[in-house]
Amino acid sequence: MRYVMKQKLLSWGDDFNIRDEQGREVFFVDGKGFSLGNQLAFKDPQGRELAFIKQKLLSWGPTYEIHRDGVLAATVKKELFGFFKHRFEVDVPGPDDLEAEGDFMDHEYTFRRGDRVVATVSMRWFSFSDTYGIDVADGEDPVLILASAVVIDQICHSGDDSH
């Protein structure tokens, strides 16, 4: 399934609208404007919270936690020592960890589980610099992958008005 994620430019926090291929809004990310560390609520169009994203303040390197129904669903962390390629680890409970690798500054990267690509993120097809597409493979959890993409955006473009 293909999603289009667009950051809202004029908002108190980092807010994102996420639409499906037909242009219907399927998710909304509500950034909390005044909080200690970044906090974002990932919601459906009816306003129900599907996930809560929270920056982990005391950690080595940028780290965020994604909670679903009050339970830790994943920890997203930027690899600290990537000399030639930058990577993010999406550590989920159990054996299904994901790794994101590519050009994060230009929103051109993939999510992999082992050797299999499970999602692609690309800004290539959009003329607006704050909009990008995310293709999620069938059978994958779109909320987890889209929430992880929001985290990567927060880490790579925090305070950057050019995206």
**Long-range Cβ contacts of 133-137 (<8 Å, 24+ apart):** 133/2, 133/3, 133/4, 133/5, 134/2, 134/3, 134/4, 134/5, 135/1, 135/2, 135/3, 136/1, 136/2, 136/3
pLDDT at 18: 96
pLDDT exceeds 50 at position 163: no
Asked if residue 45 has pLDDT above 80, the reply is yes
Tell me the per-residue pLDDT of 26-40, one tens digit each, with 9 for 90 and over.
999 998 765 567 889
* DSSP annotation of 3: E
| pLDDT beyond 70 at 12 | no
Domains annotated for the chain, with CATH where assigned, are: 2-157 (2.40.160.200)
- Relative to beta strand 71-78, strand 63-68 is antiparallel
pLDDT digits over 83-142, tens only? 556 789 999 998 889 999 988 777 789 999 999 999 999 987 676 667 889 999 999 999
Place of tokens 């994901």: 98
Per DSSP, the three-state class of 145 is helix
pTM attached to this predicted model: 0.88
Structure tokens at 38: 């970044």
